[in-house]
Amino acid sequence: MVVILDVRQVAPAERAEAIREAIWNRVVRVEIEHQPEPDRIAVSGLISDVGRLNVCSVAADATTVRRTPRLARDDRPPSVFLGLQRSGTSMVVQGGREAVLRPGDFALYDTTVPYTLIQPQGIHQHFFRMAQSDLALPPDTLGRLTALRFGAEHPMADLAATYLRRLAEAPHVPDLSVADAVGTASIELIRAALTSRLPDPRPARESLEATLGVRIMEYVGAHLADHDLTAATIARRHNVSVRHLYAILARSGVHLGDWIRTHRLEHCRRELARPGAAAVTIASVARRWGFRDASHFGRVFKEAYGMSPREWRDSRPSARRP
Q: What's the CA gap between 238 and 155, in Å, rounded?
A: 13
Rounded to the nearest 10 degrees, the angle between the axes of helix 212-222 and helix 242-251 is 100
Rounded to the nearest 10°, the torsion over CA 166, 77, 114, 65 is 50
Q: Is the pLDDT of residue 221 over 80?
A: yes
In terms of average pLDDT, the best of 49-53, 207-211, 241-245 is 241-245
Residue ranges of domains in the chain: 3-210, 212-253, 258-320
Cβ–Cβ under 8 Å, residues 3 and 55: no
Q: How confident is the model at residue 314 (pLDDT cuts 50, 70, 90)?
A: confident
Rounded CA-CA distance 71/209 in Å is 37
Question: 200-204, 220-224, 306-310 — which is least confidently predicted?
Answer: 200-204
- What is the Cα–Cα distance from 119 to 31, expressed in whole angstroms? 14
pLDDT single digits (tens) 108-157: 999 999 999 998 888 899 999 999 888 878 888 889 899 999 999 998 89
Are 213 and 249 spatial neighbours (Cβ–Cβ below 8 Å)?
yes
Inter-residue contact 212 to 189 (CB < 8 Å) = no
Cβ-based neighbours of 266, under 8 Å, separated by 6 or more:
none
What pLDDT sits at residue 43? 84
Rg (CA), the chain: 23
Q: Residue 256's pLDDT is what?
A: 92
Residue type, 294: A
Interval 273-286 mean pLDDT: 88
* pLDDT for res 173: 53
Query: In what helix (H) or strand (E) does residue 93 lie, and over which residues does it extend?
Result: strand 90-94
Contacts within 8 Å (CB) and 24+ apart, 267-274: 267/224, 267/225, 268/297, 268/301, 268/309, 269/301, 269/305, 269/312, 272/309, 272/312, 272/313, 272/316, 272/319, 273/312, 273/313, 273/316, 273/318, 273/319, 274/318, 274/319
Kindly report the pTM of this predicted structure: 0.66
Q: For the CA atoms of 123, 134, 107, 209, what is the dihedral angle to 10 degrees?
A: -120
Q: How would you label 106-132 residue by residue, b for 16+ Cβ within 10 Å and e otherwise? A: bbbbbbbbbbbbbbeebbbbbbbbbbb
Architecture of the CATH domain 258-320:
Orthogonal Bundle (1.10)
Q: Is 299 helix (H, G, I), strand (E, B) or coil?
A: helix
Please measure the distance between the N-terminal and C-terminal CA atoms of the chain and give it in whole angstroms: 33
State the pLDDT confidence band at 31, using cuts at 50, 70 and 90: very high
CATH number given to 3-210: 2.60.120.10
Structure-model confidence comparison of residues 61 and 200, the more confident one: 61
With bands split at pLDDT 50, 70 and 90, how would you rate the model's confidence at 206? low
Q: What is the pLDDT of residue 127?
A: 96
pLDDT in tens, 226-251: 988 999 999 998 888 999 999 988 88
Q: What is the pLDDT of residue 93?
A: 97
Lowest mean pLDDT among 197-206, 264-273, 302-311: 197-206
Please give the residue that has the higher pLDDT: either 36 or 286: 286
pLDDT in tens, 170-194: 755 545 556 777 888 899 899 889 9
Q: Which residues pair with 125 in a beta bridge?
A: 58, 85
Average pLDDT of the chain to the nearest whole number: 87
